[in-house]
Amino acid sequence: MHRIIRNIRVMDPGDGFDAVTDLAIADGRIVARGPLPADFQAEEALDGTGLIACPGLVETSFQGHTPGHGRDGDLASELRAAVAGGVTQVLLRPDT
């Protein structure tokens, strides 16, 4: 499937790119940013206004919670919450 996300802020620390632009996505991969190829035909166009596209974030001080200590989270629910916030890697603190 081919998609366009219009007006999304793209932050790429690899080359310092940081701007509101358009993204072309083909089969789940970003294939272009900025001016899109003239031959790119999207099946779906999404509005990315107010959203950010960037590499996954790394949480370097993750502290899991032990169920029964006033918190209901377990490791799976904590990790789901992290992913929902853009975190793709966590480092567990040694006291966790």
Tell me: the pLDDT tens digits for 42-77?
A: 999 999 999 999 999 898 887 766 655 556 667 788
32 and 61 fall within a common domain: no
**6 and 27 inside one domain:** yes
For residues 17 and 53, the answer to whether their CB atoms sit within 8 Å is no
Q: Do both 79 and 37 map to the same domain?
A: no
DSSP 8-state code for residue 77: H
Is the per-residue pLDDT at 96 higher than 60? Answer: no
Same domain, 6 and 48: yes
* CATH code for the domain of 6: 2.30.40.10
Domain count, the chain: 2
**Whether 77 and 40 share a structural domain:** no
Tens digit of each residue's pLDDT (9 = 90 or more) over 1-23: 999 999 999 999 999 999 999 99
How many C-beta atoms lie closer than 10 Å to residue 59's C-beta? Answer: 15
Question: How crowded is the C-beta side of 38, counted as CA atoms within 13 Å?
Answer: 0
Range of the domain at 63: 57-92
pLDDT of residue 65: 65
- Which tokens hold the place of 22? 């358009």
What pLDDT does 69 receive? 58
Task: Based on the fold, state whether residues 30 and 62 are members of the same structural domain.
Answer: no
pTM confidence score: 0.72
Taking the alpha carbons of 30, 50, 82, 93 in that order, is the dihedral positive or negative? Answer: positive
34 vs 89: CA distance, rounded Å: 28
